[in-house]
Amino acid sequence: MSRYGWRGRGGALVRADELTEGVERDALEALRRRERQQTLVAELGRSALLGASASEFRQQAVAAAAEGLGADRAGLLEPDGGGALVFRTAVGWPEGELRPFRCDGDSLLAEAFRVQEPRVVGDLADDGRYSGSRHLLELGLVSAAAVPVRGEGQPVGVLVVHSGTREAFGSDEVVFLRGVANLVAIVVAHERADELRRRSEEGLAFLAEAGHILSSSLDYDSTLSTLAALVVPRLADWFIVDLAGADGTFRRVAVAGAMPEKRELLEQLSREYVATIEGPSPSSRAVTTGATVRFAEFTPAMLRTTTKDERHFELMTKLDPRAVIAVPLIGREGILGALTFAWSDSGRRYDDADVHLAEELARRATAAIENARLYRSESSARELAEEAQRRLSFLADAGDLLSASLDYEQTLAQVAELAVPRFGDWCTVVMVGPGRTLERLVVVHRDPEKRRWAEAFGGQRPLDPDDETGAPLVIRTGQPLFVPEIDEAMLLAATVDDEEQLRTLRELDLRSAIVVPLVVRGKTLGALTLATTGSRRPYTAADLELAQELARRAAQAVENARLFATVEQGARAAQALEYVADAVVLLDEEGCVRYWNPSAARLTGIAEAEALGRRADALIPDWPTLDQQVHEQIPVTIPVPLRGEERWLSVSRVGFGEGSVFALRDVSEERLFEQARSDLVATASHELRTPLAAIYGAARTLLRQDIDLQEGERRLFLEVIESEGERLARVIDQILLAGQLDENKLEFARDPCDLAELAASVIESARHALPGGDRIRLRASSSLPEVPCDRDRFRQVLANLLENAVKYSPNGGTVEVRLRHRPDETVVIEVEDDGIGIPVSEQERIFEKFHRLDPAQTAGVGGTGLGLYITRELVTRMGGTIRVDSQVGAGSTFRVELPATNRA
C-alpha cells in the first residue's frame, strides 16, 4: 500500500544488484532509509516553500510520515476547540475508523499532545499504559509513535503513525517524525495566520455590515432584528438580543435561529420563561457581571446550571447549544442588556477571535441603542415641547374667548367649538340649574351628522342628577372622570338596556373620554366632557390636565359673568338706595358690612369706606342688642347710642340666603314730638281741669240754697271764678297762639314803641295778677330809643318771662327787669330771678314746644310747656333773639335782644 513499498525493518527489501548480507546490509538499509527520509523531508520542505495549500501539505506530510517509517497508517490530528483531537488528514485509515480522541484522554497521542513530547509504543498488547488507545488492537494495530506539532509554543496538533506489526520506533524515527511535524507546524502556522487575516477581514466586513445596519435606522428594535439575521449563521446558529427593563426582566428584542424549528423553540422559550436579569442564563450572567461569558463546550451539565427547571432544561436540550458566548451591552450609564450567540448543529466553536468580534459587535449595538434612545428622548422632548406649545396656545385662545364676553352660555359654546377638533371630536357642557336639575348647554361634534346624533341622544334622555356615570357623577363628586379606552361594557352600562340609545352611542364611535367638573371656589357649576372618536389617539394624562385647566378657566368665566350680572343688578339697586332717606345696611353671614348707603353714613357718622368689610358690632357697639330686639320684617323702635347721644331708631330687618338687610330710620324727633304730645295731654288735662274744677266748685257753692253766704264770701267765690276763668282763657290762648305760630298765621305790627313804658305797664299788671308779683323791680336805662315792634306781642313776651320768673322762684327773692341800649343798636331786655334755676343740658330744650323740666308737675308748679316756645317764636319774628343764663338753685336770667332800628 505504500508508495515506496517499504515493509519495515522486519521485512525484506532486496535490490538485485546489491546482495549484501548481515549487519552491513542492515546498516546500508538504515542509511538508505535515512536518505529516503531526508529526501522526503526535503521534498516536504520544498513543497512548503512553493506554497502548497495547507490541506495538500497535510496530506503530503502524513503520507511522508507513513512512507518514511514504513508504517501502515498515519494521521494528523488537531484540536477541535472542544477538547477533542480530530483527524485532519489520514493515510491507511478507513473512513469509518476515524474517530476523535479526547485531549484529556488516556491515549498515546493525547499524551504526546498534552506533554508536548513524542510517545512511542512497541506493542499495545504488552503495554499497560494508554488504555485510550487499546481499541486500536481491534483494528489490528500493534505499535504506534506520536509527536506533537507545536506552533509558537502551543500544541497545534499531533502527528501519529501506527503499524500492524511490532515496531521498535527508535530515536532516528522520532527525529524524522519531528522533522515532518515541524514542517507541518510551519504550514499550519501560515495557515493560521492566513486564517486569522481572513477572519479579521471577514470580521471587519461583518462589522462594517453590522454597523451599516445599526446606523440605518433609529428604531433599534427592528435594527437589532436585522442584525440578528446577519449574525446567524455567520457567528451563531442562534442568536438572542435581550434588553434589561426597569422591572428586572429582559425584553427579548431579537431572536434568530438558522433553522426554523430552533427559532420557534427560542420564541416558545422567550414566552414561557420570561428572562430575568437575575438568573442563571448566560445573558443574565453577562449583565450582572458586566463581562463576556464564554462556554467553549456547552455540556448538558452546564445546560442544567443555566436553566430554571426541568421543563426549561428539556426545551433547552432541544435547542441544543454546544458553544455559547454572552456579551454584555455596556452603555455609558450602565449595562443595557446582552447578546447571546450559540453554535449548535453546525458543531462550530468560539475562539478568541470570535469573542473579540462579538464584543466589538456588542459595542456597536450599544452605541446604536444609546443613540436611538437619546434621539428618541430628544425627539420626544421636542414633541412634548410642541405638544405643550399647542396646549398653551389652545388655553390662551380659550382664555381670550372666555374673557371676551359676559354672556357665558355663548362663550362656553365658543370654547367647545374651539376644543373640537383641536382636542377632541365631541364636546358637551352640562350646567347645574335651579334645584339639582342638569341642563345640556352645549353639544358639539366634529361631524355635523354626528352632531345631530349627539343632540338627539341628549334630547332623548334628560340628565338624571343621580346617574352613576358621566357628567352627573362628576358634578356630584366634583372629581374628574378619565376613560382612556371606552369599551362596549361601558356603552351598555351607560344606556341601561336601551337598544335605541346603544345604537346611537355606537354610531358616535367613542374611543376615549374625559369629564371634568367646572368648579369655582369649591362650588361645582357643571361639567365639561371631551371625547375622541374613531381612529384618533386616546386621551393621555396630559390631556386630562389640559381639560382640567380648561374647566378651571371656564368655571371662573361663568362665575365672573354671573357675578357681573348680580353686581350689575346690585348696582342698580344700590343706586336707588343711595337716595333713600333710611339707612340701608347689608351684612353678610359673618356679620360684616357689605353695603352701607349714604344715609347710613349720615346716621352713624361712619363713612362707607370705613364701614365696608368690618363687623357691624365693631362699628356700633350696641349692634348685638339691636340685632336681638329686631324681629324679621317687623319694624321696632329702640334707643341706640350713636355719636355720643342716644338716638331712637326704627329698625327693620330682612334676611336672605347669604345675610341680612337692615333699614334704620332716626325717629328721635318724632319720638320727642310724640313724647311732647303725650306730655301735652297730661299737662293740658291738668291745666284745664284745675281751673275748671275751681270754677265749678265756686259756682256750685254760690248756687247752693242751703248755705247762707256772706257778701264777702260770695264775692270771694266770684273772684275765684273770674281768676280761674282767666287762667283757663290763658291756657286756651296759649294753645291757640302756638297753633297760629306753627301755621305762621300771625301778623306783626312794626310800630315805634317805648319799651320802658311798655315794660312798666306789664310789670304793673303782673304785680296785681301774679301771686308774689310784688317782687318785681324795673331798671330801665334813660337813653332807650324807640324800637319798631308789635306792642301786644312784646307785652306777651315780657308777661311770659315774668310769670315764669315768679312761678319758678318758690322761695321768693326779687325779680328784676332790666332794659338797656347797646351801641350796636340793640335793646337788651333781661329778666332775672333768684329761683330754682335750669340745668345747662335743659337750657336749649326749654324753648321747645311742650318741654317742661317737670312734666309730671311733681313740684306742684303748673304749666303747659308752651310759654317759652311762644316767647321765642315771637322774639324771633320780631327780629330778635332770646337765651337763658342759669345755674340750678342760683336763679335764671332770660335775655331778649331786639334790634333798635328797622333793619328789615
Specify the residue, 364 or 849, whose C-beta has the smaller distance to ligand ADP.
849
Residue among 846, 874, 896, 900 that touches ligand ADP (CB under 6 A): 846
Q: 421 preceded by cis ω (within 30°)?
A: yes
Specify the residue, 171 or 841, whose C-beta has the smaller distance to ligand ADP.
841
Q: Considering only CA atoms, which of 413, 431, 426 is closest in space to residue 457?
A: 426
Piece in contact with ligand ADP (CB under 6 A), picked from 207-215, 449-457, 655-663, 845-853: 845-853
Number of chain residues interacting with ligand ADP (CB under 6 A): 19
Q: Is residue 698 within 8 Å of residue 717, measured between CB atoms? A: yes
CB 697, min distance to ligand ADP, A: 23
Piece in contact with ligand ADP (CB under 6 A), picked from 198-206, 459-467, 558-566, 861-869: 861-869
Specify the residue, 790 or 834, whose C-beta has the smaller distance to ligand ADP.
834
CB 879, min distance to ligand ADP, A: 21
Specify the residue, 262 or 730, whose C-beta has the smaller distance to ligand ADP.
730
CB 654, min distance to ligand ADP, A: 43
CB 809, min distance to ligand ADP, A: 7
Binding residues among 781-810 for ligand ADP as defined by CB under 6 A:
804-805, 808
Which residue is it, cell 318785681?
Answer: 776
Q: Considering only CA atoms, which of 858, 863, 811 is closest in space to residue 835?
A: 811
CB 676, min distance to ligand ADP, A: 11
CB 852, min distance to ligand ADP, A: 4
Which residue is it, cell 341628549?
Answer: 458
Q: Is residue 240 within 8 Å of residue 254, measured between CB atoms? A: yes
Piece in contact with ligand ADP (CB under 6 A), picked from 75-83, 702-710, 736-744, 860-868: 860-868
838 belongs to the binding site for ligand ADP (CB under 6 A): yes
Q: Which three cell numbers stand for residue 182?
A: 515541524
**Please, which residues have CB within 8 angstroms of residue 388's CB and are 6 or more apart in sequence?**
none
Specify the residue, 654 or 890, whose C-beta has the smaller distance to ligand ADP.
890
Piece in contact with ligand ADP (CB under 6 A), picked from 191-199, 318-326, 457-465, 848-856: 848-856
Give the number of other CB atoms < 10 A from CB of residue 543: 21
Piece in contact with ligand ADP (CB under 6 A), picked from 470-478, 495-503, 711-719, 833-841: 833-841
CB 801, min distance to ligand ADP, A: 7
Residue 639, beta-bridge partner list: 648
CB 687, min distance to ligand ADP, A: 8
Residue among 82, 155, 835, 880 that touches ligand ADP (CB under 6 A): 835
Q: Is residue 209 within 8 Å of residue 310, measured between CB atoms? A: no
CB 667, min distance to ligand ADP, A: 24
CB 705, min distance to ligand ADP, A: 39
Q: What is the strand order of the sheet 426-432 is part of?
A: 438-445, 426-432, 523-533, 510-520, 481-483
Q: Which three cell numbers stand for residue 754?
A: 317805648
Cα separation of the two ends of the chain:
178
CB 815, min distance to ligand ADP, A: 9
Residue among 504, 532, 660, 864 that touches ligand ADP (CB under 6 A): 864
Specify the residue, 273 or 673, whose C-beta has the smaller distance to ligand ADP.
673
Q: Is residue 851 within 8 Å of residue 872, measured between CB atoms? A: no
Residue among 275, 336, 483, 836 that touches ligand ADP (CB under 6 A): 836
The CB-side HSE value for 784 (13 A sphere, CA atoms) comes to: 23
694 belongs to the binding site for ligand ADP (CB under 6 A): no
Piece in contact with ligand ADP (CB under 6 A), picked from 117-125, 653-661, 768-776, 865-873: 865-873
CB 799, min distance to ligand ADP, A: 11
Q: 363: helix, coil or strand? A: helix
Q: Considering only CA atoms, which of 700, 692, 693, 698 is closest in space to residue 718?
A: 698
Long-range Cβ pairs for the range 857-860 (8 Å, 24+): 857/683, 857/686, 859/810
Q: Considering only CA atoms, which of 293, 297, 204, 202 is closest in space to residue 242?
A: 293
Q: Which three cell numbers stand for residue 267?
A: 420564541
Give the number of other CB atoms < 10 A from CB of residue 656: 8
DSSP assignment letter at 842:
G
Which amino acid makes up residue 866? L
Q: 639: helix, coil or strand? A: strand
Q: Is residue 874 within 8 Å of residue 796, measured between CB atoms? A: yes
852 belongs to the binding site for ligand ADP (CB under 6 A): yes
Q: What is the largest CA-CA distance in the chain?
A: 231
793-to-447, 788, 797, 893 alpha-carbon distances in Å: 99, 12, 6, 20
CB 838, min distance to ligand ADP, A: 5
Piece in contact with ligand ADP (CB under 6 A), picked from 94-102, 168-176, 509-517, 850-858: 850-858
Specify the residue, 4 or 673, whose C-beta has the smaller distance to ligand ADP.
673
Which residue in the shown chain puts its C-beta closest to ligand ADP?
863
CB 873, min distance to ligand ADP, A: 11
**Please, which residues have CB within 8 angstroms of residue 676's CB and are 6 or more apart in sequence?**
848, 849, 850, 851, 865
Binding residues among 869-898 for ligand ADP as defined by CB under 6 A:
869, 892
Specify the residue, 75 or 863, whose C-beta has the smaller distance to ligand ADP.
863
As a whole number of angstroms, the distance between CA 820 and CA 801 comes to: 17
As a whole number of angstroms, the distance between CA 57 and CA 73 comes to: 17
Residue among 470, 526, 865, 880 that touches ligand ADP (CB under 6 A): 865
As a whole number of angstroms, the distance between CA 759 and CA 791 comes to: 10
Q: Is residue 78 within 8 Å of residue 88, measured between CB atoms? A: yes
Specify the residue, 307 or 864, whose C-beta has the smaller distance to ligand ADP.
864
Piece in contact with ligand ADP (CB under 6 A), picked from 219-227, 250-258, 663-671, 858-866: 858-866
Residue 273 phi/psi, 5-degree rounding, is: -120, 90
Piece in contact with ligand ADP (CB under 6 A), picked from 107-115, 231-239, 315-323, 859-867: 859-867
Burial 41-70 (b: 16+ CB within 10 A, else e): beebeebbeeebebeebbbbbbbbbbbbbb
Residue among 543, 582, 833, 873 that touches ligand ADP (CB under 6 A): 833
Residue among 863, 879, 880, 899 that touches ligand ADP (CB under 6 A): 863
Binding residues among 167-206 for ligand ADP as defined by CB under 6 A:
none
Piece in contact with ligand ADP (CB under 6 A), picked from 443-451, 482-490, 663-671, 828-836: 828-836
Write the interaction track for ligand ADP spanning residues 423-452; mark x where CB under 6 A is met and - where it is not: ------------------------------
As a whole number of angstroms, the distance between CA 254 and CA 225 comes to: 5
Interface with ligand ADP (CB under 6 A): 804-805, 808, 833, 835-836, 838, 846, 852-854, 863-869, 892
